[in-house]
Structures are given as C-alpha cells and as structure tokens.
Amino acid sequence: MSEPIIIVGGGPVGATLALLLAQRGVAVTVLEARQQGAAYGEGRALALSHGSRRILEKLGVWNKLAPHATAIHTIHVSQKGSIGRSKLYASDYMQEALGYVLSYGALSEALALALTEKPTVNFIFEAIAEAITHSGSQASVSYSQAGETYTITSPLVVLADGGRSLDALFGLARETKEYGHDALISKVRAELPHHNIAYERFTPNGPMALLPNGERDFSLVWTGKKEYITPLLALSDAEFLTQFHQQFGDRVGRFLSVEKRMAFPLKLSQLKATDTPHLVVIGNAAQTMHPVAGQGFNVGLRDAESLAQLVVASSATALGTASMLDAYRASRKNDTKGGLFFTDFLVNIFSNDVVGASGLRSVGLGLFDIIKPIKQHLVSKMSFGK
C-alpha cells in the first residue's frame, strides 16, 4: 500500500480504527484538530458495551483501562408513578458485565499511548481539515497547521470527527430530527453504594440515566424539553438535588452532592446515502443518537472494527472504490438503523404524558420483565449490535 489511509479525527473512534489497522501493518495518517493530550483530562462518561470491551481487548488496551472502569452488573428500568419495572442481570446472559462506565479522557490516553508504539501511524496534531477533493484513484485532504497549508493524498479517507460539522466541507448531507430536548449531564454522589446497578428512569418530562461511576458516584444524564432542563442549570446544588430526588426516588438514598452541570441539545441524525469516491464516514460523524440507550459510541466502535476488517481484506487497487464503499455500508446498515430506530422508539414511547400512555407503559415494563426472549434480544443488541 503506497500511501497511508487518512483518518480525519483522532478521538476514540478514529484512534480505535488507526490502532486496528496498525495491528495488521496498514499505514495510517491521523489528522487531529486538538493539541496532543488535550482530551486526557475530560471526565465525560462513556458507556461501553460488553462488545466494545472485546474490541479494546483485541487492541491490548483493556488491561490498562480496567482499573478506571466501573462495571454495570444490573440495569434497572422504571417509570415514575408506576409499579412497572424491569431488571437485566449480566449473570443471566453469561457475561461478566452488561457494560462499563469509563471517562473519555482515560480511553483517549490509553489509545494514544498504544498508538505511539505503532511505527506505521503518523499522528498529526493541531491539524484542521479544510477541503477534500478526489480523482479517479484517490482523494486529497488539505489541512492547516501553525498557519501553513498542506495537502496529503490517499486511496481512502475516513471521516471520524464528530465534534465539528464537516458536512459542507466534504459535500455531505444528512437527515436530522430535532427532538427539542436538551441533555443535562453531571456527576452525583449517593448516600448508599450503587452495587454496580445502572438506572434508566422514565418520567413524563423525559428519561434520566444514572450510570455507576466510582464507589458511590453516578454519572447522570437527564433529558427533557429545553424549557424544563434550562432552569435546572440555574438552581443551587441543594435545590437541584431535591428536585432530582423527587423524580428519581429513594433507591440509593439521598443524593449528597452534584458536580458542575452542563446541557446540550439532542438530535437524531444520519448521513444521507453518499457516493463520494474514496471517502467513508464513521462514528458520530455518520450518525448521532439520543443517549437514552447508550448506543451511539458503541455503534461507532463497531463501525471502526467493520471498516478495518474490510480494509485488510481488500487489495490496494480496491481501496476507496465504489464496490468497497458499498460493501462497508451494507455491512453496517442493519446495526446502524437498528440503533437509530431503537433509541428513537424509546424516546417517543416514554417521553410523553398522553392520557392512558402511562398505564400502558407500566404494563409493558411488567411484561418485558417476564418475557425472556425479548430481554435476550435487547441484551444482544446493546452488547454486540445484533
């Protein structure tokens, strides 16, 4: 392979792809807009599925990450004002855990350290992608760094940067559904230990998720309409914890403290079918999902794994061709559409207060708890995308 594959975006999904390819001796150039190490201190929580752990094990980085990860042994799903609830246990599905909670910074640092040991990877920091052009046999990416402009070429360019909107830059179009909801994220400390239980709590104003993250701490994702979430940011810590406790209940006792609260708008987004030569889009750059089921990041890692397998199996002349890109999209179609549909379904079903809906949801949760094939399908979907 004469020219390295170019990955635009060195976050966890782009870095995972680079490492998967480097393990098979494929040369890679990664363009990352941020400074080296800029992400290492990010405490934002990531919910990793059991399948994502397997990918990280293949990369040889899980042993370093395990001490920083909190396992989820049980998922408790409930609805406010209802006796209906359901529980999922990892032991019922022969898994050590249903998932893990890990900081973005810890994962970024572990992947970066592993990449420094791969001579076939050229990581270029503070490199801002500005344009892409393509010919019959390759694509060219122009980027700026320290006031200078550079151009590099490759038969395959991978867009893995979900942090910036590069749609216009690369001539892409996407279908977007605005929920009109915001997600409030923070970290709270509870009076009682969490016993490795993750909670998904549905309320008329929107779902909230508590993910065990440390001995007594939880990472919180509380979603709802903007006019409902925005005032929560202005409350004192004591007032916020009182309101949160009223919505969540007493399962872990009182909430003792809350860290800084932030909010961002939620949307469901997917790229429209594109036949741009020599360009493939993965991760959050390809699809953005509501965080209600924790699917988005894990779908992105599976994107990276599938693409790496296809690259390794392709000849040099097949890289970036229409047939190769079609094969990649076909390999990811069911997983991606399934994740988008599943998260959208949960939001639509559980985030409204139509008369009579609450009772039906309560019955549904009760039935879900006793129908094992449905629970098995859900666990398989959350863990492996199947």
pLDDT in 10s for each residue of the chain, 386 residues: 458 999 999 999 999 999 999 999 999 999 999 999 999 988 888 889 888 999 999 999 999 999 999 999 998 888 776 666 788 888 888 889 989 999 999 999 999 999 999 999 999 999 999 888 888 789 999 999 999 999 999 999 999 876 566 666 666 777 777 777 888 999 999 999 999 999 988 887 888 889 999 888 999 989 889 999 999 999 999 999 999 999 998 889 999 999 999 998 877 777 776 677 898 989 887 777 655 555 778 888 999 999 999 999 999 889 999 899 999 988 888 877 766 655 655 555 545 554 344 444 444 444 445 555 655 655 565 555 56
CA distance 154 to 161: 18
* Residue 210 tokens, joined: 């508590």
CA distance 331 to 338: 13
**pLDDT attached to residue 107:** 95
Locus of tokens 């990649």: 328
On the 0-12 / 13-18 / 19+ scale of CB atoms within 10 A, 243 is middle
Q: In what order do the strands lie in the sheet with 28-32?
A: 121-125, 28-32, 5-8, 157-159, 279-281
| Helix residue ranges, H only, the chain | 12-23, 50-58, 62-65, 104-116, 226-234, 237-248, 296-313, 322-350, 357-370, 372-384
Going by C-beta distance under 8 Å and a sequence separation of 6 or more, which residues neighbour residue 59? Answer: 16, 19, 20, 23, 111, 114
**pLDDT attached to residue 53:** 94
CA distance 261 to 263: 7
Is the Cβ–Cβ distance between 218 and 194 less than 8 Å?
yes
**pLDDT attached to residue 356:** 40
**pLDDT attached to residue 269:** 73
Count of positions (residues) in the chain: 386
**pLDDT attached to residue 18:** 97
Domains in the chain, start-ordered, CATH in brackets? 5-47+100-175+269-350 (3.50.50.60), 178-265+355-370 (3.30.9.10)
**Max Cα distance, the chain (Å):** 64
**pLDDT attached to residue 2:** 53
pTM for this one?
0.86
**pLDDT attached to residue 311:** 96
**pLDDT attached to residue 63:** 94
Going by C-beta distance under 8 Å and a sequence separation of 6 or more, which residues neighbour residue 238? Answer: none
* Residue 329 tokens, joined: 């999209």
On the 0-12 / 13-18 / 19+ scale of CB atoms within 10 A, 350 is buried
